[in-house]
Structure 1
Amino acid sequence: MSGHLTFRTGAVRYQVTDVERAVAFYTENLGFDIAIRGGPAFASVVNGNLTVFLSGPGSSGARQLPDGTAQKPGGYNRVVLEVDDLDAAITELRRAGVTFRNTVEEGPGGRQIQITDPDGNPVEIFEAAAVRPPTK
């Protein structure tokens, strides 16, 4: 043994103000399935090998930090969901009334856009350059 810690794939935890509303957002708009319903304060949703923990007020994952800082929704760190066709995903998400944080950004690795869940937690929708459909 090398003495290094070994980690398994974990999950992303988002602080939310309303667990049921967050579950509805992820299942109805982003294709997640409910994995755990832990009462009104916690749920987890899963899509493929990605799990998102939704920690509401009163959950152990939302307790104040030792210095008294409250854990709250929002920020700029984000989960990235990969799609084969970003334009089609944008059309579908706009149709569903999802809030967008920016316009499409393009770089050498691909194209991305950010949306927010109902609590302002960012989610990036990403299309890798290697799978981008040919330009017409």
Structure 2
Amino acid sequence: MIKVKQLAHVCIFAHDLEATRGFYRDVLGMDTRFNFLRDGRIFGFYLDCGGRSHVEVFEKSEASYSERDQINHFCLEVEDIDAAITHIRSKGVEVTPKKLACDDTYQAWITDPNGVKIELFEYTAKSAQFAGGDRVADW
């Protein structure tokens, strides 16, 4: 039997590595854990998501996002979604208004410089992820 402990990483492709690194560092506060090197040049890196979770980024200039991609988005839990929204807007990045979703979790959405959709979550005492119970989707 296997027991999954947690999400290790999500991998994304970047048109511009340094613009992507700056977005995740300055807008989301995610520091680089290490770089991937090839022929003495950085071609990717790992970003710290807290604990043992990461976002893995590789340079791929021809990458493009489409609603038909198999991975649609990734989600980051934040401590204070209102503070996160204020900070993100202060960096000139568009962010959706906070919404209490059908799973009783607050959410907001942003997009990175490559078109990757990022959901921001703030759990509540009633969040289905902990309280259980089926929820009717409202989208």
Change (3 A) 1:24 1:14: same
Superposition deviation, residue 88 in structure 1: 1.3
> Does the 8 Å CA contact 1:80/1:124 hold for their aligned counterparts?
yes
State the SS of the aligned residue for 2:19. Answer: helix
Percent of aligned pairs with the same residue? 28
**1 or 2, which has the higher helix percentage?**
1
Could you tell me which of 97, 106, 114 is aligned with 1:103?
97
Measured on the aligned residues, the alpha-carbon RMSD in Å equals 2.6
- Counterpart CA distance in 2 for 1:86 and 1:40 is 33
Determine the structure 2 residue equivalent to 1:46.
Answer: 48
Change (3 A) 1:116 1:25: same
Gaps of 5+ in 1: 59-69, 132-136
What are the equivalent positions in structure 2 for 1:15-34 lying under 5 Å apart? 15-34=13-32
Gaps of 5+ in 2: 127-139
Superposition deviation, residue 124 in structure 1: 1.0
Superposition deviation, residue 96 in structure 1: 0.8
Superposition deviation, residue 7 in structure 1: 5.2
What is the number of residues matched between the two proteins? 117
Deviations 1:40-94 (A, max 9, x none): 4211111213211111127xxxxxxxxxxx7534657222111222111111110
State the SS of the aligned residue for 1:37. Answer: strand
State the SS of the aligned residue for 1:26. Answer: helix
- Counterpart CA distance in 2 for 1:72 and 1:35 is 25
